[in-house]
Amino acid sequence: MATLMKRQGVRMWRAFLVLVGLSVLCNVAIGARKGHASMDQRGLRRRHPGHMSLHKHRQGAGKQGQVLHRSKRGWVWNQFFVIEEYTGPDPVLVGRLHSDVDSGDGNIKYILSGEGAGTIFVIDDKTGNIHATKTLDREEQAQYTLTAQAVARDTHKPLEPPSEFIVKVQDINDNPPEFLHGPYYARVPEMSNVGTSVMQVTATDADDPTYGNSARLVYSILQGQPYFSVEPQTGIIRTALPNMDREARQEYDVVIQAKDMGGHMGGLSGTTEVKITLTDVNDNPPKFPQSVYSMSVLEDKVPGEEVGRLKAKDPDLGDNGLVNYRIIDGDGVAMFELTTDSETREAVIKLKKPVDFETKRTYTLKVEGSNPHIDPQFLAWGPYKDEATIKIVVEDADEPPVFVAPSYTFEVEENAPEGTLVGRVHAKDTDVANNPVRYMIPRYTDVEQFFAINSEDGMITTTRPLDRETQAWHNISVSATEIGGHHQDTKVRVNIRVKDVNDNAPEFATNNEVLMCETVVPGKVIESVSAVDKDEMAHRQHFTFSLAPEVAHNHNFSLKDNRDSTASIYVLRKGFSRLTQDVYYLPVEINDNGFPAMSSTNTLTIRVCSCDSKDTILSCNVEPYVLPAGLSTGALIAILACIVILLAIVVLFVALRRQKKEPLIVFEEEDIRENIITYDDEGGGEEDTEAFDIATLQNPDGANGFLPRKDMKPELQYPIRPGLGRPAANSVDVDDFIKTRIAEADSDPTAPPYDSIQIYGYEGRGSLAGSLSSLESVTTESDLDYDYLQSWGPRFKKLADLYGTKDCSINDGDDGEDS
């Protein structure tokens, strides 16, 4: 269908061009008569050459005062048009270029340049026909600017100046409308009036809006009737039904279509989805599911505990669905309270005051639930509240005993004898059974067990005399437990005040010394004394002061009672001296005038001090007067320090002298004669010359070099015995050499032992003496005769004695056993 429409359009366009060509031919004929250039069939006009010369002559004459005429261009162009999306087999003829100088002999060549020249647009250089070789799309490029020129074919010289012209791509309806921002989401309040605007959707068409109806769009609704409608020209979606209820249906899927060509047949179309959501409004009042609710509560519940819950249903959302609850009537208004759970939005009934099964067993409450936010638009749909009745039944519970008073306060005199009655507490069982009650004092409230209670009648007595000055109040608890039932108990606070008895004598308030100057004048007050009493002072009770009888007639000090529980101490003479007497003791008698009266004698210490002319105390110490003249304290400390240092030096010197002495010889290297080398094979006998160097024994001083001695003489000097001379170095008598060394070592206690022992662990060959090893003799039983060792000389005498003696001993033992 689209191809057919394109072909029809091309045919119509060609017919239009034919009409234009006929019009142009008419204009050419008229123009030829008037001397103007002829115009070709596409609307190109060229001025006649003869007129060019004439025009130039007139220009020259104009300079001499003649009228000047505007010089016309050699090419006058109109726009060329080509239809887009042409799919015919042949290239589309766009137009024809022709010049008046072209006589048709082929000497003129037409050249085309500019946008698409040579690729999209080609020109026949002889005839000037322009063809489009490719399919054009107006949406990609709407027009092309080209340049035309006529040149001589042989010389390529321009015959006319170049001139630009435009080829416009003629639009066809080849692009459907598009919704660039879909899908769309919109919200509209529920219960909106018909025609309420929801939103506007807009589609775009890439075709040319200035040509035809290719881009003229019309909107329609494909899905969403009868709830919504759309305006055909604007795309505004509006509600089409009244009273759309969100609680019935919340979301709607609407499909909108946009169609070009003004919505006529053959137009292209595009669709989009619009999801419309109804928003909530407060159009539903709250409603209790029940008109009457039943609840129960135990009588032992404490205030604040929950009794039950109820909730009014409101299908609205958010603030529109909020419900406020309150108690509006009932005989339980004073006993119960109502709160709202912030999470579940339930009304919570709580106990406000304790209830008693024996007093009242049922209560009634009337509760109201209402919306706090009401929309005036829907006010006529009200009322937005509902009521419900709650019946609360009090259930019986085994309650603990109840004391008659919430707390008790008793008094008892201090020092009262054991068993003195303090007071009585009383509790009773409020249940119907009215069980008896047993009393006790919890030990943690009376740790020292000052009191006892009669478990049957609640009489509290003392267990010992009480002292108010130690503890004036005793705060204990008394527990009452129901006998029988669930043994529930309750406690009450008992405060016991210990009444005061005058049993403490008064005493000085402070025990500070009184400092008095040596130069004090007679009659001066040196101190004002006061008293304290641990007992409570009665009204108008005061302390009286007097000197003790033994000092009542002293000549140094006197006392005056001021009758306000204070007394003043006066000086009677002058001439006090620290050297004579530095401290005076003045006994004062204090009486509390209580009942019974208590008195005590307290001693006031008066110290004599040295003062300056302004009676400022300088010193109250007597030691500086009695110290003998001599060295100062600093000098004594320095002397003691020197003595301590000298003692430390002596001790250090003695310790160093007693340290262990070091060896006399300094070994630069390890002496090979101190090594004990153990071999696990047997020596090679006399033929083994590599095991030991005999020269080392002959000349030990030359083995490792000279061993220097420390420059310290031994404490004991032993003279070398005569006849123990060192044998010659070249002597081969090893026995004499060894004996000499042993003798020197035995006689010289400062000489180190240079003996060296070597053990061979293998058996040698070629020795005339045979094997000396006892390795094989240990593991094998041999019947060898060792008597031949007696003939080997003194060197093997010890060995011969050992083996010979053993044999003899064994033989003797055998003989003994035989006997």
Q: What average pLDDT score do residues 122-131 get?
A: 86
What is the distance between the alpha carbons of residues 327 and 339, in angstroms, rounded to a whole number? 10
Query: Which domains are delineated in the chain?
Result: 79-170 (2.60.40.60), 178-279 (2.60.40.60), 292-395 (2.60.40.60), 402-499 (2.60.40.60), 507-619 (2.60.40.60)
695 burial level (CB within 10 Å; 0-12, 13-18, 19+): exposed
Give bridge partners of residue 759 from the DSSP assignment: 678
pLDDT of residue 688: 53
Looking at the predicted structure, is the pLDDT value of residue 640 above 70?
A: yes
Minimal CA–CA distance to 191: which of 384, 319, 377?
377
What is the distance between the alpha carbons of residues 163 and 150, in angstroms, rounded to a whole number? 10
Q: How far are the Cα atoms of 219, 507, 560 from residue 525, in angstroms, in the given order?
A: 121, 21, 10
108: left (phi over 0), alpha (psi -120 to 50) or beta: beta
What is the distance between the alpha carbons of residues 743 and 727, in angstroms, rounded to a whole number? 13
- Tokens matching residue 639: 């002397």
pLDDT of residue 479: 94
pLDDT of residue 355: 92
Give all strands (DSSP E) within 685-782, no chain letters: 757-759
Question: Do 469 and 487 meet the contact criterion of CB atoms below 8 Å apart?
Answer: no
For the stretch 554-588, pLDDT in tens is: 999 999 999 988 999 999 998 898 888 999 999 99
What is the distance between the alpha carbons of residues 73 and 163, in angstroms, rounded to a whole number? 10
What is the distance between the alpha carbons of residues 378 and 190, in angstroms, rounded to a whole number? 12
Looking at the predicted structure, is the pLDDT value of residue 505 above 50?
A: yes
- Supply φ then ψ for residue 11, to 5 degrees: -65, -45
Q: At a CB cut-off of 8 Å and minimum separation 6, what does 770 contact? A: none
What is the distance between the alpha carbons of residues 209 and 216, in angstroms, rounded to a whole number? 7
Question: Do 87 and 73 meet the contact criterion of CB atoms below 8 Å apart?
Answer: no
Query: Does the predicted TM-score (pTM) go above 0.85?
Result: no
What is the distance between the alpha carbons of residues 356 and 395, in angstroms, rounded to a whole number? 9
Question: Do 714 and 752 meet the contact criterion of CB atoms below 8 Å apart?
Answer: no
Q: How far are the Cα atoms of 22, 421, 483, 755 from residue 29, in angstroms, in the given order?
A: 11, 154, 143, 157
Range list of H helices, 135-267: none
Residue written as tokens 């002072």? 537
Looking at the predicted structure, is the pLDDT value of residue 710 above 50?
A: no
pLDDT band at residue 751 using 50, 70 and 90 as cut-offs: low
Question: Do 46 and 98 meet the contact criterion of CB atoms below 8 Å apart?
Answer: yes
Query: Does residue 748 or residue 574 have the better pLDDT?
Result: 574
- Tokens matching residue 51: 């007129």
Q: What is the mean pLDDT of the chain?
A: 77
Name the amino acid, one letter, at 78: N
pLDDT of residue 747: 77
Report DSSP state, residue 605: E
What is the distance between the alpha carbons of residues 225 and 257, in angstroms, rounded to a whole number? 13
19-33, 201-215, 328-342, 585-599 — which is least confidently predicted? Answer: 19-33
- Tokens matching residue 88: 């015919």
Looking at the predicted structure, is the pLDDT value of residue 92 above 60?
A: yes
* pLDDT > 70 in the chain, percent: 73
Q: Please tell me whether the peptide bond between 752 and the residue prior to it is cis, using omega within 30 degrees of 0.
A: no
pLDDT of residue 542: 85
273-277, 603-607, 641-645, 714-718 — which is least confidently predicted? Answer: 714-718
Q: At a CB cut-off of 8 Å and minimum separation 6, what does 343 contact? A: none
Question: Do 248 and 315 meet the contact criterion of CB atoms below 8 Å apart?
Answer: no
Residues in the chain: 819
pLDDT of residue 98: 79
Looking at the predicted structure, is the pLDDT value of residue 135 above 80?
A: yes
18-27, 240-249, 719-728 — which is least confidently predicted? Answer: 18-27
Looking at the predicted structure, is the pLDDT value of residue 756 above 60?
A: no
Give bridge partners of residue 152 from the DSSP assignment: 108
For the stretch 427-460, pLDDT in tens is: 988 777 778 899 999 999 999 999 999 999 999 9
The most confident of the ranges 164-168, 516-520, 673-677 is: 516-520
DSSP labels, 405-425: SSEEEEEEETTPPTT-EEEE-
DSSP labels, 162-192: -EEEEEEEEP-S----B-TT-SEEEEEETTP
What is the distance between the alpha carbons of residues 17 and 252, in angstroms, rounded to a whole number? 54
Q: What average pLDDT score do residues 507-515 get?
A: 88
241-245, 379-383, 720-724 — which is least confidently predicted? Answer: 720-724
pLDDT band at residue 753 using 50, 70 and 90 as cut-offs: low
pLDDT band at residue 279 using 50, 70 and 90 as cut-offs: very high
| Residues 773/778/780/782 CA torsion (nearest 10 deg) | 70
pLDDT of residue 461: 95
In degrees, to the nearest 5, what angle opens at C-alpha 780 toward C-alphas 776 and 783? 105
Question: Do 441 and 476 meet the contact criterion of CB atoms below 8 Å apart?
Answer: yes
Q: Over the Cα atoms of the chain, what is R_g?
A: 71
